Amino acid sequence: MSKILHRSIHAELPVAVGGRGIELFDADGKAYIDASCGAAVSCLGHGHPEVLAALHAQLDKLAYAHTGFFTTEIAERLADRLIADSPDGIDYVYLVTGGSQAMEAALKMARQYFVEKGEIARRHIIARRQSYHGNTLGVLAAGGNEWRRAQFRPLLIETHHIAPCYAYRGRSAGESEYGYGERVANELEAKILELGPGEVIAFVAETVVGATAGAVPAVAGYFKRIREICDRFGVLLILDEVMCGMGRTGTLHAYEQEGIVPDLVAIAKGLGGGYQPVGAVLMGRHIYDAFATGSGFFQHGHTYMGHPLAAAAALAVQDVIREQGLLENVVKLGELLNCRLRERFHKHYHVGDIRGRGLFRGIEIVADRGEKSPFAPARKVHAAVKREAMARGLMVYPMGGTIDGVQGDHILLAPPFIVSAGQIDNIVERLGDAVDAAIAPGVA
Ligand SMILES: *Cc1c(COP(=O)(O)O)cnc(C)c1O
């Protein structure tokens, strides 16, 4: 009997013993295609020789030095690389060990930024419903997924939520995509006016919504309008690219495709590709300068921030992506994945929507595609799809609660950037079989 409190106590988990390329192997010798990179993490797949070599080299040099005493060459090199690769307006880095830590740091940074500037009345965080920003209490409060929040509500700080930009569900009949985007973006302005314009710290959003909604990009114009509203009221824009960032959507940062630059952006999952736990906040010069010309000190910190092995893994992963031109592969194979998903599912009675960007794709499962009606949550269709896919040696990332935290099911796909065309065909074939086995077609 396991002594670990596993995520789900009654689940029977296979034991992972190895991995190579896009596959993981269990103790019985069964291979699984990792078509979700776990949770959009393992962007270079498993056992990548260059990343392993970089980790061995750093380990032989130095495993750990506390950031209260030292900086390290490897952490400085990672920061230089991340800033060199970022667009103008992103100038400094804060290194942590994961996505929740990155988002927590971004929220505290945003509050202290205004304290440094003497705008101490600013205290409100506005985010969107149906988003996920991490599981620690601060970012859980910012997240908009009701199911994740419900039992912890008495412990959560006050936050405010507006509608997501989720065209498949939110756009009215007769409304243009652009018009829909403007309407839901304008909810931010209304919320800021309601709370008091001088009292709002930041607006927080996933550029492409990941785990909780299934690869939902905003419609054209939405983020431009959001940026305008933030600028008009002096509200900071914090983008959570923990899942959708670092190349996953075909550009290094997902916001590059929106034509905007945030004040703060959190990255994590693909940053180190799973070779080490690592995350970061990237920030504009104005944020850094407020600290530099103010107290000279960001009142925060963690024991393992800027960890040399984490920095070595992240730098190696980012070097490989750049040297091998893998973002081009994300764009090309992402289009192929989109095509294959459409061929397989576009007339499927139980697939309502196929969406996403690059190698970040979602399909929304429905009971009836005409009415967009969800399956009863108790049927746990998402869990059945996961089970059927695993039985066929395929890892995808299905989740329930797509619509409102309770209703709806979707499947997230996020294959490694090294995936080939033949492997894409294989993934979609196994997924098609898994979906059909999980839901007998035509039965609601
Ligand atoms: C995974 C995720 C987080 C939390 O990251 P952890 O490393 O699990 O703490 C935050 N935001 C988004 C968008 C995520 O997908």
Work out the mean pLDDT of the chain and round it to a whole number: 97
Task: Evaluate whether residue 269 is within a structural domain.
Answer: yes
Count the helix, strand and coil residues of the chain and give each as a percent rounded to the nearest 5.
Answer: 40, 20, 40
181: left (phi over 0), alpha (psi -120 to 50) or beta: alpha
**Cα 55–chain centre separation:** 25
Together in a domain, 57 and 166: yes
Q: How many domains does the chain have?
A: 2
359 near 334, Cβ under 8 Å? Answer: yes
Residue 111 CA to residue 436 CA, distance in Å, equals: 49
Buried b (16+ CB within 10 A) or exposed e, 339-372: ebbeebbeebbbbbbbbbbbbbbbbbbbbebeee
pLDDT band at 443 (very low <50, low <70, confident <90, very high): low
Q: What number is the average pLDDT over the span 376-400?
A: 97
Together in a domain, 353 and 292: no
CATH number at residue 420: 3.90.1150.10
**How much distance in Å is there from the Cα of 189 to the middle of ligand 1?**
27
At residue 105, does pLDDT exceed 70?
Answer: yes
For atom 8 of ligand 1, which residue has the closest CA? 99
**How much distance in Å is there from the Cα of 130 to the middle of ligand 1?**
14
CATH number at residue 130: 3.40.640.10
**Model pLDDT for residues 328-340, shown as the tens digit of each residue:** 999 999 999 999 9
At residue 148, does pLDDT exceed 70?
Answer: yes
Q: What pLDDT does 147 receive?
A: 83
312 near 55, Cβ under 8 Å? Answer: yes
Atom index in ligand 1 nearest the CA of residue 211 equals: 15
Residue 398 CA to residue 407 CA, distance in Å, equals: 13
The total of other beta-carbon atoms located within 10 Å of residue 440's CB is 9
At residue 229, does pLDDT exceed 60?
Answer: yes
Together in a domain, 32 and 179: no
Q: What pLDDT does 441 receive?
A: 53
Q: Which residues span the domain enclosing 301?
A: 52-323
**How much distance in Å is there from the Cα of 210 to the middle of ligand 1?**
9
The binding-site residues of ligand 1, defined as CB within 6 angstroms of any ligand atom, are 39, 98-100, 103, 132-134, 206, 210-211, 240, 242-243, 268-269
Together in a domain, 319 and 330: no
**How much distance in Å is there from the Cα of 265 to the middle of ligand 1?**
13
Buried b (16+ CB within 10 A) or exposed e, 62-77: eeeeebeeeebebbee
Together in a domain, 64 and 155: yes
Together in a domain, 296 and 306: yes
Together in a domain, 403 and 268: no
**Model pLDDT for residues 121-140, shown as the tens digit of each residue:** 999 999 999 999 999 999 99
Q: What pLDDT does 11 receive?
A: 87
